A and B are shown apart, each in its own frame.
Chain A
């Protein structure tokens, strides 16, 4: 056994290293998998499109366009960052407005 380790020291080292990496990645996968929750809405972000926000937050498209201050059927595949720039406001401001709009829409729907 000892002779085997001595003669193949590089191979044994690489084997141990790969095994360690496999464990590291397995732990990482489980840790991230625990955070997966289909029910949680993805925070509104600058890369999203109007339709994607509507899908993620379960808001009908027409209502979403109203919240976004856009004419239906909407601008298609444009990011919120692009639309905010066109409106002359910062994307952070725009996202704050969108969040408030979604909250107001939901409050109205639940009444």
Chain B
């Protein structure tokens, strides 16, 4: 699997990286981190240009996020109707929607790089929750620049051992994501405990 993906980057260059980034923003399970590391490594060996790898990965990711956001927008009204059936879910949905449209861009920003596995869900929620399209796009594009820059730069710097590095990073991403989730739930529990 790994070898096939790396061969795809070698053969198709930026196109493979862009397609991978695009699809992984739409929940298709492709190890885009490894693809970006490979892109950086092939830039180090002068098989690809660093600029084209960066541009390809960033474009693919931003376009993928846009599609996710649009899908969320399309499903927004249906979700609202579903939530409106019961007064309790209607109130909760209203609160969630206000939170997304007021402060959703921060979640979008951090979900592109710090807790990247959550990205596709956050994009969908941003669309469904009515986050302004420009605010979504600007924060998303900034966040994806961090995500793409980080992996491509690491691939360039540690070009001769990208497969080992990919193993370390995928575990580190899992740790940060699970840890962030645990921290949020722990905070909620603590608040409820104090409220008694």
Chain A positions within 8 Å of B, measured between CB atoms, are 1, 4, 7-8, 11-12, 14-15, 18-19, 21-22, 24-26, 28-29, 31-33, 35-38, 40-42, 45-49, 51-52, 54-56, 76-79, 81-82
- How many Å lie between the Cα of A45 and that of B160 in the bound state? 12
Which of B13, B45, B186 has the most chain A CB atoms inside 10 A of its CB?
B45
Contacts A11-B189, A15-B185, A29-B172 given; does A22 touch B178 at CB 8 Å: yes
* Interchain Cβ contacts under 8 Å between A and B, 17 examples: A11-B189, A14-B181, A15-B186, A18-B182, A19-B178, A22-B175, A25-B175, A25-B178, A42-B160, A46-B3, A47-B3, A49-B45, A52-B45, A52-B159, A55-B160, A56-B160, A77-B10
Looking at chain B's contact residues, is the secondary structure mostly helix, strand, loop, or mixed? helix
Question: Interface digits, B23-57 against A, CB 8 Å rule (1 contact, 0 not)?
Answer: 00000000000000000011011111000000000
Does chain A have a CB within 8 A of B87? no
Residues of chain B lying within 8 A (CB to CB) of residue A28: 167, 171, 174
Binding site secondary structure of chain A: helix
Closest chain B residue to A15, Cβ basis: B185
Chain A CB within 10 A, most for which of B160, B174, B188: B160
Known contacts A12-B189, A46-B3, A79-B7: A21-B161 contact under CB 8 Å: no
Q: Does B18 contact A (CB under 8 A)?
A: no
Q: Which residue of A lies closest to B182 (CB)?
A: A18
Looking at the assembled complex, report how far the CB atom of A71 sits from the nearest CB atom of chain B, in whole angstroms.
17
A28 to B4, CA, bound (A): 24
- Report which of B6, B47, B167, B186 forms a contact with A77, defined as CB distance below 8 A: B47
Determine whether B101 belongs to the interface, using a CB cutoff of 8 Å to chain A. no
Contacts of A7 in B (CB 8 A): 192
